[in-house]
Amino acid sequence: MKHFLSIVFSICISLIGYAQQEFHVFPKDHVETPGTQSGTGSMANPWDLQTALRQNTKVVKSGDTIWLHEGVYNGRFVSALESVEPDQFITVSGYKNDKVILNGNVSSSRSAVLEVIGKQVIYKNFEVTWIGEFSRDENDADFQACGGIAHLRGENCRFYNLKIYNNPALGIGSWKHSAGSSIENCIIYNNGFIAKDGKGRGEGIYVQNKSEEVRLIKNNILFNNYYKGIEVWSAGKRATQQVVKNIALEGNIVFNSGSPAGRFYDNVIVASNDKNGINVAKDISILNNIFYHNTRQPNGNIYGDAPSLTLGFIAKAPIENVVVDGNIIIGGYNGLRILQAKSLRFTNNKIHTGIVQVGPSVSDYFPEWEFNSNRIYSSLKKPFRVPRVEDYALDTWQSKFNLDRDSSLSELSDFDLENVLSVAKHSQNNKFHVALFNAEGNNVTVDFSEYGINSQMAYTIYDVENSEVVLKKGVLAQDNKVTFPMQLTKFEKPLHNSEAKKTLSNFGVFVIEFENQRTVQIIDDKQNLIERFFKWLGF
């Protein structure tokens, strides 16, 4: 019996070590249960946010969850949380449906609202922003540049379902020392400022990677950031290592980048600025994304400078092994720019542009390109432009360079797309990102039959450009179809900005959430694991 009890005791100690814990965080100014530095992390005695994010591996362990309860958390925070068990994560999440806001508009020397330096942590279901009065002009004496999230280091972090907006710098920086991390299902908008030179600064996502693990940027929505949408890039001119590689962009919707600064910038750029030719943007995939600019002037003419996708930048560092497949690329006169590319597969894309600009020094690399099965819309008879060399018609481009053999060229006036461009389900709930197109701006109906949503589910629709306002509510009919309105004019302008524009009525991006109408009894108070174990033993 003594030996048996010894075994039981050892098992219990082991279970204690591996039992998943839940901790609770409240704002410091919460009326009933303010979060404090001296708290225990319990519901009755919660932590403040910075205390929670500084816990060591003996307190917050692999598999644990830190719940952030409703409210505004004023400050700029550093997360040093680390999960030390392989393939197990610590989770930092907004609690249930609580609205949790991290507000960085405070006096601080830190350059981001949330800095992440730990590893194997999931951050999800909260907002990162600036609230109140602040300058967005670098010329102002009180101006502060401050990004939303700076993931400086720490492997295998996950950023899910975050709303990152109105930060006076970039939205999220995913830097070279953060191997294996991902950004998914986030909405990133209205970030940035006007620099001293009068131009916009502040990307939606700035991403680098020096590891062999793939950095995944998937199913995010980015729009109306002051500078570029997604910048896969390194600005260093004298690099000694490669830090722009193994990055995947999949299913993202990026539109109207630069609009708050009064001009259009690249929705996506993939390149580096290294004159040593060492830091080459390499092994990058751009699959099934949507890149859009408001493409028409009021008189119906195409915009001039409105690049939607740029590949390569400097001749000494042409991109290598880049795959661009299945994307919709809608821009202005220079909507697609392939400036420097050594090896490239560019296939099955739909392109709205004035010209396809190709760098004059890359023709030697054409034999290493696979450039095929694209649909190109342009008002020009010779849309393939090699600056200072020649403009080419499609048939000449095909015969001279053996490119675009199965591609087509049509007039801009014939430009049209399927009404439903994409429907992307969130990985962890019944929420979808939906991108729609209708040339006349008519309402669009979406069939949800293939997405596992049962009829009689309640739904709520939000226009992502006006996400604080419910656009439409209803109950899913027997045919599983939902109609989305396209003629929308209201939108959430960037704070302290008058330049940003709503998208045209031909293009709309929405969030739709489904919930079961039936009341389901959920038991939140689960028996303690060790209690159940002892009960099983008969104690």
Residue 4 scores a pLDDT above 50: no
Look at 197-206, 236-245, 412-421, 525-534 and tell me which has the smallest mean pLDDT: 525-534
CB atoms within 10 A of CB 489: 8
Backbone angles phi, psi at 49, to 5 degrees: -65, -45
> Strand, coil or helix: what is 465?
helix
Q: In what order do the strands lie in the sheet with 71-74?
A: 71-74, 100-103, 127-129, 163-165, 187-189, 221-223, 253-255, 290-292, 328-330, 350-352, 375-377, 408-410
Q: What percent of the chain has pLDDT over 90?
A: 86
Taken as a whole, the chain contains a residue count of 539
- Measured CA to CA, the distance from residue 46 to residue 496 in angstroms comes to 35
> Strand, coil or helix: what is 417?
coil
Helices and strands: H and E segment counts in the chain: 4, 45
Average pLDDT over residues 56-63: 97
Tokens of 517: 């109408």
CA 6 to chain CA centroid, Å, is 52
Look at 365-374, 421-430, 467-476 and tell me which has the smallest mean pLDDT: 421-430
CB atoms within 10 A of CB 30: 15
Task: Give the model's pLDDT for residue 304.
Answer: 78
Tokens of 97: 């449906």
**How crowded is the C-beta side of 306, counted as CA atoms within 13 Å?**
24
Q: Which pLDDT band holds residue 42 (cuts at 50, 70, 90)?
A: very high
Average pLDDT over residues 441-469: 94
pLDDT 10s digits, 103-154:
999 999 999 999 999 999 999 999 999 999 999 999 999 999 999 999 999 9
Residue 519 scores a pLDDT above 70: no
- Measured CA to CA, the distance from residue 358 to residue 342 in angstroms comes to 12
Residue 3 scores a pLDDT above 80: no
Name which of 499, 511, 469, 503 is nearest 487 in CA terms.
503
> Strand, coil or helix: what is 351?
strand
Q: Apex CA 359: angle with CA 358 and CA 361, to 5°?
A: 135
- Measured CA to CA, the distance from residue 219 to residue 187 in angstroms comes to 9
Task: Give the model's pLDDT for residue 455.
Answer: 85
- Measured CA to CA, the distance from residue 14 to residue 201 in angstroms comes to 52
Average pLDDT over residues 57-65: 97
Tokens of 470: 């419910």
pLDDT 10s digits, 281-320:
999 999 999 999 987 765 556 667 899 999 999 999 999 9
- Measured CA to CA, the distance from residue 482 to residue 445 in angstroms comes to 5
Backbone angles phi, psi at 449, to 5 degrees: -60, -40
The two beta strands, 215-218 and 182-184, are: parallel
> Strand, coil or helix: what is 195?
coil
Tokens of 13: 């100690």
Task: Give the model's pLDDT for residue 295.
Answer: 75
Q: CA of 80: how far to CAs of 60, 118, 216, 472, in Å?
A: 11, 4, 22, 41
Q: Apex CA 102: angle with CA 155 and CA 503, to 5°?
A: 90
Task: Give the model's pLDDT for residue 254.
Answer: 98
Average pLDDT over residues 226-238: 96
Residue 533 scores a pLDDT above 60: no
- Mean of the per-residue pLDDT values of the chain: 91
- Measured CA to CA, the distance from residue 399 to residue 317 in angstroms comes to 28
Dihedral sign for Cα 491, 492, 496, 499, please.
negative
Average pLDDT over residues 73-83: 98
Place of tokens 């209708």: 438
Residue 479 scores a pLDDT above 80: yes
- Measured CA to CA, the distance from residue 472 to residue 474 in angstroms comes to 7
* 190: alpha, beta or left? (left if phi > 0; alpha if psi -120 to 50): left
Task: Please check whether residue 399 is in contact with residue 418, taking contact to mean a CB–CB distance below 8 angstroms.
Answer: no
Tokens of 321: 């092994």
Task: Give the model's pLDDT for residue 9.
Answer: 42
Task: Give the model's pLDDT for residue 238.
Answer: 95
Residue 342 scores a pLDDT above 90: yes
Task: Please check whether residue 501 is in contact with residue 259, taking contact to mean a CB–CB distance below 8 angstroms.
Answer: yes
